[in-house]
């Protein structure tokens, strides 16, 4: 059952769709991307994974670790709320979430 969450950052609306272990991100222009297409802040990655500080493939390895972490989660809802917590930590505003396209609910 797909879950979706809607977030705002500096006036830009971003929707995150979780289907199984797959995350899709779309912006208000309609552009859709996977994790690999996102911009990652190297300092943020280093805070989470200090061993990647001098690694030339830091982004690739961080994405792989994130995917492995997501695979360990029990439900799509758990994945969405994990993404919410991470996005809010970096200044995004969590607006609402929905399941299977049903009624929108405010994040808790």
Return the ∠ at Cα 76 (arms to 82 and 94), rounded to 5°. Answer: 45
Contact 35, 67 (CB under 8 A): yes
pLDDT digits (tens, 9 = 90+) for 37-66: 888 889 989 998 999 999 999 999 999 999
Give strand ranges (E) for the chain.
3-9, 12-19, 22-27, 32-33, 93-99, 105-106
- pLDDT, residue 46, reads 92
Kind plus residue range of the DSSP H or E element containing 61: helix 58-71
The count of residues in the chain is: 108
Which residues of the chain, if any, have pLDDT below 70? 1
- pLDDT, residue 1, reads 56
Residue percentage of the chain with pLDDT more than 90 = 64
Beta bridge pairs of residue 15 = 6, 26
pTM of the model: 0.86
């Amino acid at each position: 059952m797909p879950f979706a969450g809607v977030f705002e950052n500096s006036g830009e609306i971003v929707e995150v769709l979780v289907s199984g272990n797959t995350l899709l991100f779309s912006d208000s222009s309609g552009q859709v991307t996977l994790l690999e297409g996102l911009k990652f802040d190297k300092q943020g990655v280093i805070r989470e994974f200090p061993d990647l500080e001098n690694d030339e493939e830091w982004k690739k390895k961080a994405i792989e670790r994130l995917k492995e972490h997501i695979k360990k989660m029990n439900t799509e809802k758990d994945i969405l709320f994990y993404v919410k917590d991470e996005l809010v930590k970096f200044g995004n505003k969590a607006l609402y979430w929905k399941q299977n396209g049903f009624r929108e609910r405010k994040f808790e």
